[in-house]
Structure 1
Amino acid sequence: MSSSWGGDSILSLQVLSRARKLQSQGLTLKLRDLMKHQTIAELAALALTAQSRRRGGPVLGQ
């Protein structure tokens, strides 16, 4: 499976490195997430869903 993120391994590593810095704020991003959710919108939705689950609130979509 090729993606705009996964096709460029250096870019993928940079994104993961920057995401790792946000773990203290609750963002956990794995390489498989980057491969599966290939757009910023999909990654943002993933992050919001995970954040809502951690807080025990409902998962809301727009």
Structure 2
Amino acid sequence: MKNRIAQLRKERRITQEELADAVGVTRQTIISLENGRYNASLLLAHKIAKYFGSSIEEIFLFEEEET
């Protein structure tokens, strides 16, 4: 799942550490999210969306697999 976390964070000049502290995770978790190596839980996705004043759908880009 792709996301816009890095883009939003850079636009607001927020460090990975600051975002991690604000949503209660480690900086490594933010790094993994930004690099697409980790998918956020619904709770974490909600916290990140609330932090940025956006909806989950505006930050996390769901890609439906073709069948």
Q: TM-score category by the smaller chain?
A: under 0.3
- TM-score after normalising by structure 2: 0.26
Higher relative contact order (CA 8 A, sep 6+): 2
- TM-score after normalising by structure 1: 0.27
Structure 1 or 2, whichever has the larger Rg, is 1
